[in-house]
Chains A and B, each alone.
Chain A
């Protein structure tokens, strides 16, 4: 409603209503003092933080970069591994002799462009063994990496290992000393060192 539309007799009342209420000047002073105090404190904190980051900034920036880099690296590794796993369809099959093919990765397109991991079970019969290790190019010929487990009721030692698709040489080491080939696998005399190993082709 505009002023000219208001009845002239009501105009004084309207003007009164439009005026700000009277306030206690001491209260106004107190409020303004608190506002200034808060503002000053806030600014002081900001200045202190700014000084702190100026001193520590280099370290924090470096740490942040490294942590982010590590995160990206770990994420990328996980992504590659999951891609490799997703690319394979695992179909359980069992071979009748010796080393058992537990799962076989089947790529519908027959494409081997993505390195696949294929679970493979290795077994060996040894009644007198106290310890049996599996060594091969897939574990850098390291006897500590893959220790076989003994089936309590029999002389069978076994382990299931995920191998990259491809051709692998391997052997068993019984009691940390006796080099033993897999009786169920193709054997090959290594030309480099003159010792027989077993061969497995995984796909």
Chain B
């Protein structure tokens, strides 16, 4: 009886000590079996598995065929793997997910590397998410990436990038074309970054804030 009590105590304690499972909703056994190789490979590679489970569950909820769900999860795992490589050497899970989203909308790996150069570990996610959000809004991915990388090089904070995105949204809702709205608002942010109050941040890369196209990406990492 006493041993029984100890066993129950052990079980409860172990349950409390285990991290919460990322698989909030059970997938049916056939789908789970089909996904197992992808998920195992992702875990082996150290990728976060929560987004992969979420993608599978999204497919189930949207009533997609099993093959399509498996393909979507595998594609996401590949993008996450690629994003982690571009954001090396020590990307956070959030950065990997944001990088995968940016790659999904058509942003190049070079953009991820540039953002990594200027944003230390844990701070690269928001710029990449703003790029993806702008691309979903109708801005060409390369234009969105160029604008945001320039801002990042100029020392823009996450709050400033989100404010830029919100400003573009307002302009688009009032009838301005997304590319024109982004171009206008980017000029405004550039001026803001070059203002005396932000001089110290802008001084980090003064030549990169020039108006020449592509200047923001003019500092490739040396091999």
- Contact digits for B50-68, partner A, Cβ 8 Å, 1 yes 0 no: 1101110111111010001
Residue of B nearest to A143 (CB): B61
Is the beta-carbon distance between B57 and A142 smaller than 8 angstroms? yes
Is the beta-carbon distance between B158 and A166 smaller than 8 angstroms? no
Is the beta-carbon distance between B13 and A67 smaller than 8 angstroms? yes
Is the beta-carbon distance between A141 and B57 smaller than 8 angstroms? yes
In residues 148-178 of chain A, which contact B (Cβ within 8 Å)? 164-167, 169, 173
Bound state CA distance, A143 and B104, in angstroms?
Answer: 26
Bound state CA distance, A142 and B25, in angstroms?
Answer: 7
Q: How many interface residues does chain B have, given as a range?
A: 35 or more
Q: How far is the CB of B193 from chain A (nearest CB, A)?
A: 12
Q: Pull 13 A–B residue pairs with CB atoms less than 8 Å apart, ordered by A.
A: A70-B16, A73-B16, A107-B157, A112-B122, A137-B54, A139-B24, A140-B25, A173-B61, A186-B137, A190-B58, A193-B62, A201-B133, A203-B158
Is the beta-carbon distance between A137 and B51 smaller than 8 angstroms? yes
Q: Within 8 Å of chain B (Cβ to Cβ): is A59?
A: yes
In residues 89-133 of chain A, which contact B (Cβ within 8 Å)? 106-107, 109-115
When distances are taken between beta carbons in the complex, the residues of chain A under 8 Å from B58 are 137, 141, 169, 190, 192-193
Q: Is the interface of B mostly helix, strand, loop or mixed?
A: helix
Q: How many interface residues does chain A have, given as a range?
A: 35 or more
Is the beta-carbon distance between B130 and A201 smaller than 8 angstroms? yes
Q: How far is the CB of B21 from chain A (nearest CB, A)?
A: 10
Residue of B nearest to A189 (CB): B136
Q: Within 8 Å of chain B (Cβ to Cβ): is A62?
A: yes
Among A60, A110, A142, A145, contact of B160 (Cβ-Cβ < 8 Å): A110
Q: Rank and list the top 10 A-B pairs by shortest CB-CB distance, nearest first.
A: A110-B157, A113-B122, A192-B72, A167-B129, A140-B24, A203-B162, A70-B17, A66-B13, A70-B16, A141-B57
Is the beta-carbon distance between A66 and B94 smaller than 8 angstroms? no
- Which of B17, B123, B165, B169 has the most chain A CB atoms closer than 10 A to its own CB? B17
Is the beta-carbon distance between B2 and A56 smaller than 8 angstroms? yes
Given that A115-B94, A141-B54 are contacting pairs, would A199 and B136 also be in contact in the complex, using a CB cutoff of 8 Å? Answer: yes
Q: Within 8 Å of chain A (Cβ to Cβ): is B117?
A: no
Q: Within 8 Å of chain B (Cβ to Cβ): is A32?
A: no
Q: Within 8 Å of chain B (Cβ to Cβ): is A69?
A: yes
Q: Within 8 Å of chain A (Cβ to Cβ): is B197?
A: no
In residues 120-161 of chain B, which contact A (Cβ within 8 Å)? 120-123, 125-126, 129-130, 132-133, 136-137, 156-160
When distances are taken between beta carbons in the complex, the residues of chain B under 8 Å from A66 are 9-10, 13-14, 17
Is the beta-carbon distance between A112 and B126 smaller than 8 angstroms? yes
Q: Within 8 Å of chain A (Cβ to Cβ): is B86?
A: no
Since A111-B157, A142-B57, A192-B68 are in contact, a sample of 6 more A-B pairs with Cβ atoms closer than 8 Å, ordered by chain A residue number, is A63-B10, A73-B16, A74-B16, A140-B25, A192-B71, A192-B76
Is the beta-carbon distance between B157 and A166 smaller than 8 angstroms? no
Is the beta-carbon distance between A113 and B17 smaller than 8 angstroms? no
Among B10, B19, B23, B62, contact of A62 (Cβ-Cβ < 8 Å): B10
In residues 19-74 of chain B, which contact A (Cβ within 8 Å)? 19, 23-25, 50-51, 53-55, 57-62, 64, 68-69, 71-72
Q: How far is the CB of A106 from chain B (nearest CB, A)?
A: 6
Q: How far is the CB of A71 from chain B (nearest CB, A)?
A: 9
When distances are taken between beta carbons in the complex, the residues of chain A under 8 Å from B123 are 111-113
When distances are taken between beta carbons in the complex, the residues of chain B under 8 Å from A145 are 24
Bound state CA distance, A74 and B61, in angstroms?
Answer: 33
Bound state CA distance, A186 and B158, in angstroms?
Answer: 20
